[in-house]
Amino acid sequence: MACIWIQFYRIDLLVEDTVIVELKCVEALLPIHKAQLLTYLRLANKPLGLLLNFHVVHLRDGIKRVINNKYRKAIAAAQGDNSI
């Protein structure tokens, strides 16, 4: 598996050249983790990211979806959400 580098940042996983996945194993996801993923999304010009925390009983409780603000309206329109 190739490692994607953005200057001095290292993306954990890049799926279908669209979704950045950041892997964590921490007690709780903190705002700094979201900020790190947003930085990766902006620098790589990608629309969507997932924070996965493996330090939970059920993995579904450790998943957080993060959207690059640049793509927020396009993603909402594709999902049929008119609230944005």
Give the model confidence (pLDDT) of 39-68 as tens digits. Answer: 999 999 999 999 999 999 999 999 999 999
Sign of CA dihedral 7, 15, 53, 36: positive
- Confidence (pLDDT) at 57: 96
Residue pair 50/19 in contact by the 8 Å Cβ criterion: yes
Which residues contact residue 56 at a Cβ distance below 8 angstroms, ignoring those fewer than 6 apart? 62
Nearest to 13, CA basis, from 21, 23, 5: 21
| Domain residue ranges in the chain | 4-78
Token readout for 50 is 């997932």
Compute φ and ψ for 30, nearest 5 degrees: -105, 165
